Structure 1
Amino acid sequence: MHLDVSDGIGTITLDSPHNRNALSAQLRKELKERLDAAIADEAVRVIVLGHTGKVFCAGMDLKESRSADADAQGVNEFPALLEQIWTCPKPVVAKVGGPARAGGVGLVAACDIAVAAEEATFAFSEVRIGVVPAVISVTVLPRLNARSAHELFLTGETFGGSRAAEIGLLNSAVSADGLDVEVKRYTDMLALGAPGALASTKAMLTAQQPAKMSEAFEQMLELSAEHFAGKEGQEGMLAFAEKRKPSWVPEALR
């Protein structure tokens, strides 16, 4: 597992091709460590989750999952990983160049932006081995339209990048040759956002909405006023007036 930082982008690379980047205990441990490091590093503005080898992630390591021990199955660790990505204060972009299955699809869905090669394939294969896609449903279901979720969760059918983009699992599916360019297009746009504003926007997007609209407006007015009066808001408006890039924009994008 690698974490490389360049021009504000922290790239975490799943690097266990011998088992198709399956979510073994070791991989889960290393992924959490790299996520912790990327979140703590002020130089990292955007996180990219990529992989080596032909497969993005084959899901849980079935050799370990046959154990009756819950920790070996990742029952406790994997939900925490998905939540860490989902609630990460920095935008996370999935870069998928090959197949993703089961838990691997859960990782893709947990990311804010997901880009894949058209040739990449996906499947919720759990039912075909007698288990339920329960944990990953927490991150996957908010992304998919209901009809597709029922179809693909129940059949376990394999589908490609274009279909994944159509149903909301991906933001875009491109040719394998264009994957790097498309990911960079997104990371460049995300790096233009103010770090604090991005973190608050992510929290807003994932927060449970109040039952009453009046309560929602009250909360959003408070959030809006806080950022308009804050350092980032003041700097952003001043930079706009002075026709320059705000101070948080990386040098490479100025």
Structure 2
Amino acid sequence: MTVVTASKPERGVVTLALDSPANRNALSAALVAELTAALERAGADDGVRAVVLTHTGSTFCSGADLRQPPDPAAFVALMRRIVTLPKPVVARVRGHVRAGGLGLLAACDIAVAGEGASFALTEVRIGVVAAVISIPLLARVDARAAGRYFLTGERFESAEAARIGLVTAYDDDVDRALAPVLDGLREAAPGALADTKKLLTAKVLSAFDEESDAVIALSAGRFRSAEAQEGMAAFLERRERPWVL
């Protein structure tokens, strides 16, 4: 079953949609593999000027699929590929974004959101750590805000996401916010876009190179922990976690 769909390029812009609404576009091994392959094809296509990453259903991405989670190394490679793709990647978010979905968002060059979107780093609430996604997130988000939302798992809305640097722009009509971005990319020279993206992503790419092994090990270790096993079971069984006061 296909879980990522790709449009035909429209004036140089190809749209990739996370298309697994039954599990709220959770990051399964299949979704990570398909999205990585779709990005590779877009990157190699001379007719593609930019990529829009969007979703079907009411959720952009709910985070890791707890029943069929991806290899942390594969997910890191996916985020790194978004960063290194020679074409700008623009996130278009109309719905909710949770946990690992924020890593996808932060890896994108530009992110636009609808006013009704919501965001939360819920990892700590089930006993795991937002480890691998910390690489792009900490490069994008205000440090004080990161401290709050990584530690508390609180939900926040589009206006706050824009204030802290997680999204570039938001509007009650997400396509109204997206249109001038795509118009600008279509007017830019392809080679200049690629070199400008290298300039803008140099620091986050260095962070991937320096930190990937450590955060992959941390993530894998936490997922194997007794605390996380209990937290994930409680989540899947829709019951309270034992540590909630």
How far apart in 1 are the matches of 2:129 and 2:28? Answer: 19
Matches of 2:203 and 2:180, distance apart in 1: 30
Query: What are the Cα deviations for residues 124-152 of structure 1, in whole angstroms up to 9, with x where unaligned?
Result: 10000111101000010111111101001
1:17 counterpart = 2:21: yes
Identity percentage of aligned residues? 52
Residue 174 of structure 1 pairs with residue 146 of structure 2:
no
Q: Does 1:45 align with 2:49?
A: yes
Q: CA deviation at 1:74?
A: 2.0
Match of 1:59 in 2: 63
User: Which residue does the alignment assign to 1:138?
Assistant: 135
Match of 1:82 in 2: 79
- Once the two structures are superposed, residues 74-108 of structure 1 have per-residue CA deviations (whole angstroms, 9 ceiling, x without a partner) of 21110000000011111110000100111101001
Letter in 1 for 2:57: G
Q: Normalised by the size of structure 2, how large is the TM-score?
A: 0.79
Please report how far the alpha carbon of residue 7 of structure 1 lies from its aligned counterpart in structure 2 after TM superposition.
0.9
Amino acid at match of 2:5: H
With over 3 angstroms needed to count, the CA separation of the structure-2 counterparts of 1:30 and 1:128, relative to structure 1, is same
SS in 2 for 1:64: coil
Matched residue type, 2:76: P
How far apart are 1:44 and its partner, in Å?
0.6
Q: What TM-score results when the alignment is normalised by the length of structure 1?
A: 0.77
Query: 1:99-110 to 2 correspondence within 5 Å?
Result: 99-110=96-107
1:32 counterpart residue number: 36
> Amino acid of the residue matched to residue 101 of structure 2?
G
* Residue segments in structure 2 that go unaligned for 5+ positions in a row: 205-245
Amino acid across the alignment from 2:189: A
Q: Which amino acid aligns with 1:126?
A: E
Contact 2:11 2:186 in 1 (8 A): no
In the TM superposition, residue 64 of structure 1 has moved relative to its aligned partner by: 2.1
Q: 1:49 and 1:16 mapped to 2: Cα distance?
A: 14
Match of 1:196 among 175, 191, 197: 191
Query: Partner of 1:76: helix, strand, or coil?
Result: helix
2:200 corresponds to 1:205:
yes
**Cα separation, 2, equivalents of 1:3 and 1:38:** 9
1:156-184 deviation digits (Å, cap 9, x = unpaired): 00000110001000011110xx2112212
Per-residue displacement from partner, 1:186-240 (whole Å, max 9, x unpaired)?
011112111111111111112249xxxxxxxxxxxxxxxxxxxxxxxxxxxxxxx
The alignment partner of 1:134 has SS state of coil
Q: Runs in 1 of length 4+ with deviation above 4 angstroms?
A: none
SS in 2 for 1:23: coil
Match of 1:93 in 2: 90
Q: Secondary structure at the match of 1:6?
A: coil
Give the drift of 1:119. 1.0
CA contact (8 A) 2:82 2:108 kept: yes
Structure 1: gaps of 5 or more residues: 66-72, 210-254
